Amino acid sequence: MRTKVAIIGAGPAGLLLGQLLRTYGIDNVILERHTPDYVLGRIRAGLLEEGTVKLLDEVGAGQRAHAEGLVHDGIELAFGGERHRIDMKAATGKTVMIYGQTEVTLDLMHAREAAGLVSVYEAADVMPHDFDSDHPRVTYLKDGTTHEIDCDFIAGCDGFHGVSRASVKPSAIETFERVYPFGWLGILSDTPPVSPELIYSNHARGFALCTMRSTRRSRYYVQCPLDDRVEDWPDERFWDELKRRLDQRAADSLVTGPAIEKSIAPLRSFVAEPMRFGRLLLAGDAAHIVPPTGAKGLNLAASDAHYLATALREYYDEKTSAGIDHYSATALTRVWKAVRFSWWMTSMLHKFPDTGAFGARIQLAELDYVVNSKSAMTSLSENYVGLPF
C-alpha cells in the first residue's frame, strides 16, 4: 500500500489530523491496534476550547457538538467554604464547550467513514521504519498477514505508551517529567450537575472537581492517594467525601446516584523534545501529557493536528519544507505554556503531602489574589479558554 501520510493511532489527534489532511487533498491511512469499540470505551476529558471546536467545524465533524455541547462562560473556584466565579467571557470574549472526548472521537470516526478514508483497526505489531530517510514505511500484522505501507511521512498519534516515540533512539530525544504524588478518583453518574458551571475546590481534605457531560450526566472527582484502589471507594464513601470538600450550598444540593463508571487516574506532566525525527512527527499524548486540572490534553492534541496538517499542506502545495522544519518548535511553544498553566492550577488547588500548613496558606493567598485581581482573573481566563494557534 502507498499513501502520503501514515497515521499511527485512531484517537482524537490521529482522527482530526486525518480529516484535516483530507480537506487539504492529502491521502492518509490510519492504523489502530485496538477495535473501534475499545477506543470509544476510554473515558477521557470533556472540555473543548473554541479553537478545537473550529477545527471540528472545518472538517465537518462539529454539528453534534454544537447541538449537544454545553457552552460555559466561566468557572467557579471554591475555597474557605465559599465559591467565587471567574467570568471568562467577560475577561476574554471567549467561552469553552463541555462535550466529551468520546463524542469527539465518535464524530471524527463517522466523518472519516463518510469520506471513504482507510482506517485499519486491530492492526497488531505496528512499527515505523526508515523515518530518518526519504522513504519511510510502516509495517503491521492483520489477520495473520504482515502488511507494509510506503509513505512520505509518519504521524505518531498513538499516545503516551505507543510505539512511535518508543521507536526513536534514546539519544535523539529529551524528556521532561513531573509525577504528582496523588491521583484523581472519578465517577460518572446519571444525575443532574450540582452547578451549571465547573467547580474547582481547594479543601484541607484534598481537591475536588464538579463537572458534567450533559444536563443529565455528571462527572465528579476527588483527589486520592496513588495507592488507593477503586475497590476501596464504594459509591457511598465517594459521595460522602465529595460533600465534605464542597461548600455547604453545593453539598446540600448535590444529587447522588449509582456510578456508571469509576476509575483512578494518576497525574503527570510530561514533554518529549523534539516532536520531529526526520519524517516521523509526534502529536498529542505521544509527545506530551498534562494533568487534567487545566483541561488541556485534548486541546493540545487538536492544536498539534492543526500545526502538523498546515505544515504538510505547505509541503505538498507550496513545495516548501519550512512548516515541517519548524513544526516541533511551533507546537512546543504552545505545549509548554499549557504545561505551565496545568502545573499552576494543580499546584494551587491540590493538597501536597510535603508542603504542610505553610503550603496550604500560600495556596489560599494565591486563590484570594486570583479572585480579587482583575489582571489575575484575566490571566487565568486567557489560559483556560485556550491561547491562540
> Is 72 within 8 Å of 213 (Cβ atoms)?
no
Give the three cell numbers for residue 357: 500548613
> Is 118 within 8 Å of 30 (Cβ atoms)?
yes
Catalytically annotated residue among 72, 262, 306, 350 = 72
Catalytically annotated residue among 203, 221, 292, 350 = 292
> Catalytic residue at 296?
yes
Catalytically annotated residue among 140, 180, 220, 384 = 384
> Catalytic residue at 316?
no
> Is 60 within 8 Å of 111 (Cβ atoms)?
yes
> Catalytic residue at 200?
yes
Which is nearest to 168 in space by CA: 128, 124, 125? 128
DSSP-derived 3-state class of residue 11: coil
Catalytically annotated residue among 262, 296, 350, 351 = 296
Sort residue 201 into left (φ over 0), alpha (ψ -120 to 50) or beta. Answer: beta
DSSP 28-68: EEEE-SS-HHHHHT-----EEEHHHHHHHHHTT--HHHHHH
Burial (CB count <10 Å: 0-12, 13-18, 19+), residue 36: middle
Catalytically annotated residue among 99, 140, 180, 200 = 200
Residue positions annotated with a catalytic role: 72, 200, 292, 296, 384
